[in-house]
Amino acid sequence: MTSFFMCPGLRRIRILILAAALVTAGGGMPAFARDHDDARRAVEAGEIRPYADILSVVKGKLPGEVVGVKLEREAGAWMYELRVLDDKGRLFEVHVDAKSGEVERTKEK
């Protein structure tokens, strides 16, 4: 009787799954580290304000509670993208200028 793990067809599938897992794990970490490092450098260089500062400025202008945040560049400008959940369960995407703290736009998702 052939072992389940020794079957040639299954062995090939296991190798492909392992290769995909290694590529995903190896590819994901540098991107995360790079994003974190880019954000830290931008704060240190004065290009953006720290998230805590931004949150204290816009907290009263938000339609609910922040449930997610992302920092990205849009047309050359740093923007904090906040995911905000209101008390009715609606989800909003709020774009905030990372330098000034001004709310640029709000969109219901």
**Amino acid (1-letter code) at residue 55:** L
By percentage, how much of the chain surpasses pLDDT 90?
44
Q: Decide if 103 contacts 80 (C-beta within 8 A).
A: no
Q: Decide if 95 contacts 80 (C-beta within 8 A).
A: yes
Whole-model pTM over 0.85: no
Q: pLDDT by residue (tens digit) across 11-63?
A: 555 554 544 444 444 343 334 445 778 888 888 999 999 999 999 999 899 88
pLDDT of residue 73: 86
d(CA 67, CA 83): 6
pLDDT of residue 17: 54
- 84 by Cβ neighbours in 10 Å (0-12 / 13-18 / 19+) ranks as buried
Q: What is the C-alpha radius of gyration for the chain, rounded to an integer number of angstroms? A: 21
